[in-house]
Amino acid sequence: MKRSVHELYNDVLRIQDWNVGVIPHPISDFLKPDIDHKIQWLPSPGRAKYLADPFGLIRDNRIVMLCEEFDYSTGKGKIVSYQEDENHTFTGPEVALELPVHISYPYLVEWKGETYCVPETSRAREVSLYRAQEFPCR
C-alpha cells in the first residue's frame, strides 16, 4: 500500500513538544475564583528537545526547579535545573544529573537539612537515591 507524504510525516517526523510552566501560587489558591492563572513558561530547551516532570523547592524565597530534559537525538532524558532570579524569571538550564540511561521524574525530598532526589531510572533496573552536595547542580 502506498502512503502519502503527509502520512509519512505524521508517523516518522512528528515529535511531541512539551514545556514546563509556573504559576507562583500554592495549589490551594486554585480553589479561589479570583486567582490569576497567568503561566510563566520556562525558556524552550531548543530544537528536538522538551521539558517535563518538574519538581521544585523554595530557596531564599525563590523557586528552584529540577525537571527532565528529553533529547530526541539521543533518545534519553537528563535532569536539569532552573532557578528563579530577582526579576522572577527563570535561568537555566544547568545539568543536575545525567546518567548513561534515560532518567526523568526527579522527585525531591528534604530531610534533616539535606536535599535528595529519587529520579525514575527504570531502564537501569534500579531505584537510586542521590544526595545533593550543592543543590541544585551537584
46 beta partners: none
Does residue 81 contact residue 65 with C-beta atoms inside 8 Å? yes
Query: Given pLDDT bands bounded at 50, 70 and 90, which one contains residue 8?
Result: very low
Q: What pLDDT, on the 0 to 100 scale, is given for residue 15?
A: 65
Residues near 92 by beta carbon (within 8 Å), at least 6 away in sequence = 42, 43, 80, 81, 82, 83
Helix segments in the chain, DSSP class H: 5-8
Query: Given pLDDT bands bounded at 50, 70 and 90, which one contains residue 35?
Result: confident
- Report which secondary-structure segment, H or E, holds 49: strand 49-59
CA 32: distance to chain centroid? 27
Does residue 69 contact residue 77 with C-beta atoms inside 8 Å? yes
pTM of the model: 0.82
**Mean pLDDT along residues 128-136:** 93
Q: What pLDDT, on the 0 to 100 scale, is given for residue 14?
A: 61
Query: Given pLDDT bands bounded at 50, 70 and 90, which one contains residue 99?
Result: very high
